[in-house]
Amino acid sequence: MMLRAATVALASGLACASNGHSADGPPGPPTQGPAVQLWLTTPGGKLLSQEPVIHFASGGAALPTTITVDEGTTYQEMVGFGAAITDASAWLLQNGMTAPQREALLQELFGRNPGLGLSFTRLTMGASDFSLHQYSYDDMPVGQTDSSLAQFSIDSNRAYVLPVVQRALAINPQLKIMASPWSPPGWMKTTGSLIQGTLRPEAYAPFAEYFRRYIESYRAEGVPIYAITLQNEPHYEPADYPGMRLDSPARAQLIGQYLGPLFARSGIGTIILDWDHNWDEPQSPLQVLSDSAAAAYTAGVAWHCYAGDVSAQTVVHDAHPDKDAYFTECSGGEWAPNFADNLKWFVRTLIIDATRDWAKGVIFWNLALDDQHGPHTGGCGNCRGVVTITSGGAVTRNVEYYALGHASRFVRPGARRVASTSFAGDLETVAFRNPDDSSKALIVVNTAAQERTFAVRWSGQSFRYVLPAGAVVTFSWS
């Protein structure tokens, strides 16, 4: 893994170097329209700060830079925003905090008003690099196999993963959960190990059954699995943590001939997503979707951020508009420690661009890590969680927390993305209408090096605002 308060003045628009503010409109008495609530994060220290209310007003000429929000043009329905509850994240929440500390943090992350309202998460099926040890749900001694999965068990998840996920679901029943294996059991693979290799042909049917057992075992614990991917990063075979190569012909065969039919026979409604890897190889999921048997069972494509360009999501969407896009992993880390740069990148690329390029959901990588970037077993040694949990259960909210919060707190599951004007390299935007058809959310990041004055126009009304360089604002109105 690589990567990466507003002084409001309706009658006087005094400029301020570090804080956003409303700007003067033209002379004359405008008719006051709907109230607009706003939350601001700046490189200078405002962090999801709720600012004084401003109002739409009727009349007035548009500014040269006017963001028009058009509810008449709608796009994908949103599942939500969130981060992965890795083994490391769950272990820290369960063992690194007192029960009151843990409950407060889970309420803050998954609750709404004033929580972040995270509504989409990812689990690892067995170990990833962010686990305390390497395991699958059906490990066997070297040389032995278990094709009937008689030894299958999710007991390894009962100590901390399941309790944290169950509590997150209780706090937010709208939480959607996807799951991805980093490796099947070693006996299913050419290496006989969780490390490297690919799936043996005789293991296709057992691996499909492995998914069915996992989904049904989790459902029995009150945890429904919304979506699965066949394999995390199927074109990468890490040398020191679980992984597996699974090229497009193998994925197509596995989905079309084994997993898809098994889910159909078993009445499993969990959707199947292909790829779960970077933007730089759109041809790989395109090859799977060109297989008619696989395409019949594939609901969409999952994407990571570590190579290529986010526009790959639209390349695949345009070729297969009946297939959905999901963004399922990106991590920040100590290779990019600058808050201002990270804020701009995460909001522009993952919150705005990924959803403008059709993503129904956006998941960052680890929800929580400690101050040593772990616990982890192999893999990334300097990754950053959405939050950092340190000794005594203290919590540091990282830049990823604020980037996510600008969307997750205001865009509810079932929201529709709607059209909004965006200015590349300047004011970049995305807008949503929530499922009650009344509340709207507009997210704007100023990627320019100077503050920008702009108008927001909606339904024949507008307001003006000044956004500092590098700052992010979410406007919300009904």
Contacts of 64 (CB under 8 A, 6+ apart): none
Give dist(CA 451, CA 468) in Å, integer.
4
For helices 99-110 and 161-171, angle between their N-to-C axes, nearest 10 degrees: 50
Residue pair 212/268 in contact by the 8 Å Cβ criterion:
yes
Decide the pairing of beta strands 324-329 and 298-304.
parallel
Six-digit token pair at 402?
């604020």
Write the Ramachandran bin of 448: left for phi over 0, alpha for psi from -120 to 50, otherwise beta: beta
For residue 327, give the 3-state DSSP assignment.
strand
Give dist(CA 21, CA 51) in Å, integer.
9
Catalytic residue among 51, 108, 209, 329: 329
CA 322, 279, 231, 129 dihedral sign is negative
Active site residue 216: no
Catalytic residue among 108, 233, 400, 428: 233
Q: Tokens 């005094």 identify what position?
A: 14
Active site residue 233: yes
Contacts of 74 (CB under 8 A, 6+ apart): 416, 417, 418, 419, 433
Give dist(CA 160, CA 91) in Å, integer.
6
Tell me the β-bridge partners of 39: 50, 474
Active site residues: 233, 329
